[in-house]
Amino acid sequence: MTDVLDTTLSTLLPASDDPAGWVDAACRADPEPDRWFPFPTEDFAYARDVCHHCPLRTRCELFARATGQSGVWGGKEFDRGREKRA
Ligand code: SF4
């Protein structure tokens, strides 16, 4: 079951310039990784709340913008690096 988590958030996060830093990610090993990739009609309150308590929040958001990520990063939802919802 851990493999499922490792192929979603955990495989995206180490793509940053400081993979070791992502060990502090609040979403690491979260039991519901799909919550970071909501459908357009779905709210992302769960992911936003986890991100709110994450020490990497600012870095995460900047990473998403700089590398064109989609999904919830730093408590905001992005589509190919563009902020969709906050
Ligand atoms: S800010 Fe959110 S998505 Fe980014 S590492 Fe922290 S918990 Fe994960």
In the reported structure, the alpha carbon of residue 42 is separated from the centroid of ligand 1 by a whole-number distance in angstroms of: 18
pLDDT value for 3: 44
Please give the helix or strand (H or E) that residue 79 lies within, else none.
strand 76-79
Sheet arrangement for strand 71-73: 71-73, 76-79, 82-85
Domain ranges of the chain: 9-85
Q: Please give the model's pTM, rounded to 2 decimal places.
A: 0.80
In this predicted structure, what is the pLDDT of residue 7? Answer: 41
pLDDT at 1: 43
Residues at CB less than 6 angstroms from ligand 1? 25-27, 36, 50-51, 54, 56-57, 60, 72-74
pLDDT of residue 23: 83
**Ligand 1 closest atom vs CA 74:** 1
**CA 7/CA 43 separation, integer angstroms:** 23
Ranges under pLDDT 50 in the chain: 1-8
Q: How far apart are CA 86 and CA 78, in angstroms?
A: 9
With H, G, I as helix, E, B as strand and everything else as coil, classify residue 65: helix
